[in-house]
A = this chain, B = another copy of it.
Amino acid sequence: MKTKCYKLNQKIKGIFIKHGMSRIHAKISSNAIIQSELFGLPSHGLSRLKMYCERIKRKLINIKPKIKIKNISQSISHIDANNSIGFVAANIGIKKAIKNAQKTGFGLVGIKNSGHYGLSFFYAEQAVKKNLMVWCFTNAPPAIAPYGARKALFGTNPICFGFPTGNKIPFIFDMSTSMINRGIIRRAEKLGLKIPDGVALDKNGKPTNNPKKAIKGVQLPIAQFKGSGLAWMVDIVAGLLTGANHGGNVKDPFDNLTKPQNVGHLFIVIKPSIFIGKNYLSQIKKNINNVKRLPKSNKIKRILYPGEKKYMNYKKNLKNGIDIPKNILEEINKLNAFK
């Protein structure tokens, strides 16, 4: 049975409010969760709700955070999120980076003491909708073994890049540096599903399709030392640079129920007109057209730019509603009954 997302959003917002969150923070958080479902990425959606609520109950997520913004210059700001839920910290952060970029052509915001912020896409989109170019980086708890090591240390540390296209579908490229994102494995564990070949090893270093074994083992980075290097880069710029945890010290939100995560984020926002003025719009259209009219490989109907598939999922899921697996629905109902 399909569930319509508007009602679901109200319900999730209600759950966060029941757990003590302010209306505005609850709205930001439920929007982020529902957007992941609409984009067709349930790994970052409802399957995480119970974890967020659990961390709120244990005061590992601070529902009354005193978020401090320090302006280093007109372009650069530093945010101490005071262990707020990641969605709220990142939402404040991207808005600040956008303002700085609108003022000076360039905005750089580093955030520490934050948590898992869902999809980078959610923040990149805000900048792109204001006709700005954007990079979003966040680190994450250990999942990937560095190249040459047998133990996980880097997170799946995504890289997200957005550029305005002048039409309603922005160019937003959002990739984890692991073969698949950890949320897919967590969700497969919850739903008793297998994970694909070639994405993870068990704790003895053997390939596995079992999500439980993968979580105790290591995830594989993309392209061996290249993926490992990209994950390391993200750990440095999002974690080390901002004063957040890094080097394997970000706490796992599911497994560590004693300490706040202290995830770090870095947002870089740039006016795409700084060098070539408004021509950037005609140029990006030309660029995308050049790619789209290439001869296609046999398996493909249409060449898409990053963001198009998510947008199509969004439209479809908004209209038809989404499927919620039975045990996740039960979790939601239990959380909703919480007093």
Contact = CB atoms under 8 A, between A and B. Distances in A.
B306 A229 contact: yes
A163 interface: yes
Nearest to A177: B226
Contact of A240 (B205, B268, B287): B287
A276 interface: yes
A148 B290 contact: no
B227 A72 contact: no
B240 A284 contact: yes
Interface in A47-70: none
Counted per complex, copies of this chain come to 2
Nearest to A270: B108
Contact of A148 (B243, B288, B297): B297
A291 interface: yes
A295 B149 contact: yes
A3 B274 CA distance: 46
A146 interface: yes
Most buried by B among A230, A284, A299, A302: A230
Interface residues of A, number: 74
Interface in A215-240: 222-223, 226-227, 229-230, 232-233, 235-237, 240
B290 A247 contact: yes
Interface in A136-184: 145-151, 153, 159, 161, 163, 171, 173, 175, 179
A303 B148 contact: yes
A146 B306 CA distance: 11
Interface stretch (A9-17, A73-81, A323-331): A73-81
A288 B150 CA distance: 16
A151 B287 contact: no
A300 interface: yes
Contacts of A303: 146-149
A280 B222 contact: no
A275 interface: yes
Interface in A309-331: none
Contacts of A149: 291, 294-297, 300, 303
A138 to B, nearest CB: 15
A28 interface: no
B105 A73 contact: yes
Contacts of A153: 290-291, 294
Interface of A: 72-73, 75-76, 78, 104-106, 108, 110, 112, 133, 145-151, 153, 159, 161, 163, 171, 173, 175, 179, 205, 222-223, 226-227, 229-230, 232-233, 235-237, 240-243, 246-249, 268, 270, 272, 274-276, 279-280, 283-284, 286-291, 294-297, 299-300, 302-306
